[in-house]
Structure 1
């Protein structure tokens, strides 16, 4: 198994020197949680910012899941990164750098505009333009992308998913210790929650 940074270099195609920025403050990678801490069911989502299936789920299904299951206290939702490529890895870093209060807003922005920035000639510039709406300027994005500790943390999230939960595609969901790959609809999640809360 490749070590995190070697894996990162293989995926992104950059050198260690290119990722090291003098004076950049390291930001520790963390998963992000939505919903009540004591919700009876926990669902973990593994997703990649360049995955069209993930974007479709985020844009079309997740708002319903949030309204019916998360906002009602039935589900605690945990989002974890599983970047499929170097661009997704960088987008994950930028979302992390947005901060806890803006994280899910940036996630939503990136998925809503995925077709524009992910397929552009310069995806990183596209990401910069997108996150300006969340108050992040180009310098903030550059500092994020130079944060080796953060990048390694994101790569570590993917490696853990593969080794611990047999995740190999996105989106993938963990519910009550079981792994479910592929896009799911509101009915799927509702049925699972009902089964677990009988």
Structure 2
């Protein structure tokens, strides 16, 4: 089976990691969680056929979907005031997206897949999408991430997201003038405040927090996702995301209902 498409992060100067599936912990904030594998390996297991784990829809024991790590579900912030999220804070399924505005595969997902997920699942109250900035392509990636955060402070993050990921937008770069132009296109009301916010310490801290979370998970490419504790890597086909969301929602419903519909 070929690996899912995704954009690799720049190589570090450290010694190359062995290709074997050695066990490594996830890191959530300051706590080290003894999960079995890093995100890339977990993603492969979650999307590979014949994994041997039954989905919630077919299991009387209410087993979680294949490749799910309960500790990773805690990454969902579920902050109703988070401007970098869309969907109900209490939605049964949360999909966390780690992405970079200079990433071609992230743009493909944003244009070709995400709108369909929003229409089918977010609008229906089943799914919440929480964005995490994971800039991996240098200064312009960092600047675009901070600019997106700044647009969010005026309630225009998702409009900025759409403008930045529009076809051909990445090729124009993300210099200061271009970012201001994107903010204007996104309907950001106070452009001077936008510039101040994007250059401020709060924006830098917010981006670093998201980036550290992604690297702590072992994510090495964009886009990377966690769907109710189930990692997925790369711009997967729509059906892959739909299956993960459907299985997560069915599992959540089964747990709520209790064994054989007892409600316990």
Normalised TM-score (structure 1): 0.75
Root-mean-square deviation (Å): 2.1
User: Which of residues 132, 142, 152 in structure 2 aligns to 1:89?
Assistant: 142
CA distance in 2, matches of 1:47, 1:34: 16
CA distance in 1, matches of 2:248, 2:189: 40
Aligned residues: 166
2:107 corresponding residue in structure 1: 55
State which structure, 1 or 2, has the greater radius of gyration over its C-alpha atoms: 2
Structure 1 stretches lacking a partner, 5+ long:
1-29
Whether the aligned pair in 2 keeps the contact of 1:81 and 1:92 (CA below 8 Å) is yes
Is the deviation greater in 65-74 or in 183-192?
183-192
Structural mapping, 1:75-114, within 5 Å: 75-84=127-136, 85-98=138-151, 99=153, 101-112=155-166
Is the deviation greater in 123-132 or in 166-175?
123-132
Q: CA deviation at 1:150?
A: 1.6
Whether the aligned pair in 2 keeps the contact of 1:55 and 1:112 (CA below 8 Å) is yes
Runs of 4+ in 1 over 3 A off after TM superposition: 118-122, 135-142
Structure 2 stretches lacking a partner, 5+ long:
1-81, 251-264
Is the deviation greater in 168-177 or in 104-113?
104-113
User: Which of residues 193, 196, 203 in structure 2 aligns to 1:140?
Assistant: 193
2:175 corresponding residue in structure 1: 123
- Residue by residue over 1:11-55, the C-alpha shift from the partner in whole angstroms, topping out at 9 and shown as x without a partner, is xxxxxxxxxxxxxxxxxxx67221122211111011101101111
User: Which of residues 69, 74, 77 in structure 1 aligns to 2:121?
Assistant: 69
Q: CA deviation at 1:120?
A: 3.6
User: Which of residues 212, 231, 244 in structure 2 aligns to 1:179?
Assistant: 231
